[in-house]
């Protein structure tokens, strides 16, 4: 089954609004006409500027996190409605850095995913193992558990809208990359879990990205794999030329 690739840049805590404007202005003509879905997931402070610049282009805007409550006494948090009003379409949930540094859990990811879907946002739900877990041989078991918990109580109709990002933690920002075969094996495990939960039809349409030091040199090989439907790009998304090369990879 043919699934449209999706390449999303995760800028993390980088780029001031003026720097973001410069990057996006450079990027827009470079990715025009791309046959993949293009997303930039920017810091909250950049959303206004980037949304204004990308309006009418083929670049969609994503946020890097959101809260599961609509409003209230949650100092420093951002709601789905706030994102929607700014023109955000995608939201990254459960990134390993959120889990490691900010106490994100599979349960909070699930709560956030439900709210995002109810509001019309597209969740990019992250999962992945540490180097110690891979060396213990529990990668498949761990990822299966993360996916099941993230999708608890979500209907098949909604599940099909979610993008899953498989990110081996040991390959994020390290320059190390899982081999194309290693990455595809885990993405196939993830698709198998979705098939168990919802049936093969849903598993065939859900898109699974690989994240973990994907760059312009390895993008074609990684995205040429049977179960890899795009990339969640970190460092390479901070340079317009590098990100554009990934977006326009030659399969």
Distance between CA atoms of 86 and 68, rounded to whole angstroms?
Answer: 17
Catalytic choice (95, 104, 129, 216): 95
Distance between CA atoms of 234 and 169, rounded to whole angstroms?
Answer: 12
Name every residue whose Cβ is closer than 8 Å to that of residue 122 and which is 6 or more positions away in sequence.
89, 90, 91, 116, 161, 162, 163
Catalytic choice (97, 104, 129, 167): 167
Distance between CA atoms of 223 and 216, rounded to whole angstroms?
Answer: 11
135 touches 91 (CB < 8 A) = no
* DSSP summary character for residue 94: S
Count of beta carbons in the 10 Å neighbourhood of residue 95: 29
95 a catalytic residue: yes
167 a catalytic residue: yes
Count of beta carbons in the 10 Å neighbourhood of residue 37: 21
3-state secondary structure of 91: strand
Catalytic residues: 95, 167
């Amino acid at each position: 089954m043919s699934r449209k690739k999706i390449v999303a840049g995760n800028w993390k805590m980088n780029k001031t609004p003026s720097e973001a404007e410069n990057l996006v202005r450079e990027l827009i003509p470079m990715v025009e006409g791309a046959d993949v879905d293009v997303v930039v997931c920017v810091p909250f402070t950049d959303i206004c500027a980037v949304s204004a610049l990308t309006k009418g282009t083929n670049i969609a805007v994503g946020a890097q996190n959101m809260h599961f409550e609509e409003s209230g006494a949650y100092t420093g948090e951002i709601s789905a409605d706030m994102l929607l009003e700014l023109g955000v379409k995608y939201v990254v949930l459960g990134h390993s850095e959120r889990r490691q540094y900010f106490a994100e859990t599979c349960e909070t990811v699930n709560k956030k995913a439900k709210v995002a879907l109810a509001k019309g946002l597209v969740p990019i739900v992250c999962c992945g193992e540490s180097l110690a877990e891979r060396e213990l041989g529990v990668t498949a078991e761990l990822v299966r558990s993360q996916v099941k918990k993230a999708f608890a109580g979500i209907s098949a109709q909604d599940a099909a809208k979610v993008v899953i990002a498989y990110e081996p933690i040991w390959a994020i920002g390290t320059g190390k990359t899982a081999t194309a075969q290693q990455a595809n094996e885990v993405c196939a495990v993830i698709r198998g879990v979705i098939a168990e939960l919802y049936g093969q039809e849903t598993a065939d349409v859900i898109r699974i990205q690989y994240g973990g030091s994907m760059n312009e040199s390895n993008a074609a090989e990684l995205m040429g794999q049977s179960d890899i439907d795009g990339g969640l790009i970190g460092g390479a998304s901070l340079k317009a030329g590098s990100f554009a090369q990934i977006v326009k990879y030659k399969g």
